[in-house]
Amino acid sequence: MMAGVGASTAASFVSHPLDTVKVRLQLNKESKVKLMDIIRDINANEGPRGYLRGMLSTLVGRVPISTVMYTA
């Protein structure tokens, strides 16, 4: 069970910041906005914590599923 908790938490810490950048890039209406513009914007306005915004809901959904899968 602990392996499932650890694996899903580690996976979330790696994938969630990338997903945050991807979603903000998709939501941006301007077609000329580039990846580095989004990253600079997050760093300037929110700091490093901006990448982890909304991660609690990801963990709430992912941890139980991974725990059951690793236990089974």
Q: What is the DSSP letter of 45?
A: H
Closest to 42 (Cα-Cα) out of 20, 11, 27:
20
Model pTM above 0.85: no
pLDDT tens digits for 32-51? Answer: 888 999 999 999 999 999 99
Q: What is the pLDDT of residue 28?
A: 85
Taking only the tens place, the pLDDT of each residue in 10-28 is 999 999 999 999 999 998 8
CB 45 within 8 A of CB 9: no
**Residue 51: its pLDDT value, please?**
94
Domain extent at residue 39: 2-71
Block residue for tokens 């990448």:
51
Query: How many domains are contained in the chain?
Result: 1
| pLDDT of 30 strictly over 80 | no
pLDDT at 31: 75
Q: What is the pLDDT of residue 32?
A: 82
